[in-house]
Amino acid sequence: MTRRAFALGLLAVAALAACGGVSGPRVITAEGVERETPAGAPVRNLQPALAAFGHRLFGAVAEPGTNTVLSPLSIAYAYGMARAGADPATGAELDEVFGFPSEGPHSAFNTLSRVITTTEGPPPVPDRDAVRDAQDPDDRPQPPVVGLAGGLFVQDGLAVKPEFLRTLAAKYGTGARQVDFTGDAADAINAWADEQTAGRIKRVFDRLDPRTKLVIANALYLKADWALPFTDPPQEDGSFTRADGTVVRTALMRQENEFRYASGPGWQAVELPYAESELAMWILLPEAGGSPGDRLAPGALTQTAEGLKKTRVRVVMPRWDFSTGLDLAESLAGLGLKSTGYSGIADGLFLQQAVHRANVTVDEWGTEAAAVTGLAFAVSAPPPAEVEVRADRPFAFAIVHLPTRVPLFLGQVADPTAKN
């Protein structure tokens, strides 16, 4: 089926229309459905759920002594989009694993994305080779850039259900990009991820099964300067003691300023704010031998938030720059997400593959980070035939009006090659 035929079919059956967008695959969205302007959607119900989910996933995937970065928001956002077409059993498991509110996550995600994002389109690519000068009065901290985007990539010819497309248009502001999973679909998805993460994540899937029919993706990007950059000369040959007691040498950034600080038995925390925003990084430091992951538990995060008070603090910490890749299907199955049915998106659709990629760079000037979550779906094969009708000898046919059984045409096929 041609792309034009597919678009016309959607128009006729599902009341859909093509809409404008970025260059690349044509985008189909629900006709007449604008993205809703949220009014007090329950984001407060989503926050504790994402904190709890993030801690559980971190505990499942973070190996002791190994750098780890992941984005609970990116993962939950992608699965939130999929929730709009989940089978009942799958939906119940999604709600349990992610803690989605009883009224559904879509309005909350719509509100949250409006609150935290600073750009409607793809984020600008920063000059990562630029040399900054703390003594230059023009080199001041810049406002942050935060992008959060959802993508839907559909096999040309797949009949996506109208209600699913309406939800994605109204709550997530996205439509279906028509692609060919037997051809260049992976290139289109990778190009989208590259653009939405300002070039930080260039590949979503290592490999896509050619039987894939649909991909849901999320991209999250952050570029934020510290409100107070680390302008003190770094300790170039500082020591960092790993969990196993071994010591590595690395540069340690240093500064002394008034920050919000909290502490308790066996832990310290400092809040490093980003410039001109409501964003901040919490450095959560357990005592020697303690588990960093324990400080990410929802209760510990609440304890930190409630304990932060302005204090004169000397902060010493390393730069870091690393990435993490996860097989989400395996990780989330261990948390209870085992059902894979999404027939509310398209008949017979099931989740075949789920991946998450995240990276983060922190230096004297601030933070740049990105995450992409990709969910790949295939269509279930029909059950094997119970019998075979092999019309390879003369046979009769009848064209019948079924309610009355009146035959409109009758005939036989004695030689299909003869034209009479």
pLDDT value of position 114: 86
Strands 320-327 and 232-241: unpaired
Helix (H, G, I), strand (E, B) or coil at 328: helix
Q: What is the pTM of this model?
A: 0.86
CATH code of domain 3-225+322-379 = 3.30.497.10
Distances (CA, A) of 106 to 36, 45, 83: 11, 12, 9
- Dihedral sign, Cα of residue 109, residue 114, residue 116, residue 119: positive
Q: Which CATH number is 232-320 given?
A: 2.30.39.10
Mean pLDDT of 58-87: 94
Q: What is the pLDDT of residue 7?
A: 34
The rounded distance, in Å, linking the Cα atoms of 304 and 296 is 10
pLDDT digits over 351-397, tens only? 999 999 999 999 999 999 999 999 999 998 666 666 666 766 775 65
Q: Do 130 and 142 contact (CB within 8 A), yes or no?
A: no
* 420 vs 285 pLDDT, higher one: 285
What whole-number distance in Å separates Cα of residue 304 and Cα of residue 326? 28
Distance CA 322, CA 29 (A): 37
267-273/320-327 β-pairing = unpaired
Q: Is 313 helix (H, G, I), strand (E, B) or coil?
A: strand
* Token pair of 337 as six digits: 């997400």
What value, to the nearest 5°, has the Cα angle with vertex 148 and ends 146 and 153?
A: 150
pLDDT at 402: 63
Map tokens 């004695």 to a residue: 414
Among residues 310, 311, 254, 317, the alpha carbon closest in space to that of 285 is found at 317
Torsion, CA 36, CA 118, CA 369, CA 365, rounded to 10: -160
Judge whether 152 and 164 are in contact, CB under 8 Å: no
- Closest-CA residue to 412 (of 400, 397, 399): 397
pLDDT at 409: 54
pLDDT > 50? residue 68: yes
pLDDT in tens, 122-157: 999 999 988 888 667 788 899 999 999 999 999 988
- What are the extents of the domains in the chain? 3-225+322-379, 232-320
Backbone phi and psi for residue 41, each to the nearest 5 degrees, phi listed first: -65, 150
Rounded (to 5) percent helix, strand, coil in the chain? 25, 35, 40
User: What is the pLDDT of the chain when averaged over all its residues?
Assistant: 86
